[in-house]
Amino acid sequence: MEGMVEGKSLEDLDARELNELGNAYGAQGMWEEAIDSYLRSLAMRKSSGDARGQGIVLNNLGATYYSQGRVHEALECYEASYEIAHDQGEELSELVALMNLVFLHFEEGAFDEFQRRADQAEALALELDRWEPMAKLRSLRGRLAISDAGRYQEGLSLYCEALDYASRQGEAELQEMLNRVDVQAQRLASQGARGLALVFYDYLKLFVRDHGFSESVLSHLSQKREEILRAPSLS
């Protein structure tokens, strides 16, 4: 495990090493062991007055709780991490905590709170010129808008903005966003709205063509549109 001191016993690990141990346990799905490591690391950081370190561990602990369906505990961890980062003026850490809150509220269907936290996260991301969170935030807003028939056009525009921000971040982020677009199109098609899925791709194709995206992006959208068009209908 990177950063661990070879030959140390568990009782001899410091706060940083315990946090890394928690990450390693979490990667293996050993949730209780991960939680125990994080809690021990958190206690050490509190004892030493390491506020920044507490925020880091709280984010990790929150993610572990959420993976177990322990939503309330995850929310408490993310909120505490956000408050610490905000009070310390650690803007990047604050943005990380806000994004965790955004995703949690979205997945739990708490859309008013999602919108409030998304507003905060977007303002901070723009201030810091952080394009990856902007891309994700616009795609989540787009997904929510498209689910409302009266806001479908708004949803299309938001997905275009998501692609634009993703392209500023780089090729990897752009490909990830294209994957999100495909998932949204498949979601529409599976709900019996194949026509809307086709319009979705047509709209995005016009956008990327007019905004100088690469031919590979246009080709991807065209191919996925064709797959939707040719997929057999279910009766």
pLDDT at 160 > cutoff 70: yes
CA distance 29 to 33: 9
Give the global pTM: 0.89
Which pLDDT score is estimated for 210? 96
What is the rounded distance in angstroms from the CA atom of residue 71 to the CA atom of residue 124?
25
Mean pLDDT of the chain: 93
Containing 148, the helix (H) or strand (E) segment is none
CA dihedral 15, 94, 181, 141 (to 10 degrees): 140
Residue 66's H or E segment, with its range, is helix 51-67
| Alpha carbons 225 and 77: distance in angstroms, whole number | 41
Q: pLDDT, tens digit, for every residue of 72-124?
A: 999 999 999 999 999 999 999 999 999 999 999 999 999 999 999 999 999 99
Tens digits of residue pLDDT in 168-203: 999 999 999 999 999 999 999 999 999 999 999 999
Instruction: Give the residue extent of every domain in the chain.
Output: 12-129, 154-235
Calpha distance 7→13 (Å, rounded): 10
Class of domain 12-129 as given by CATH = mainly alpha
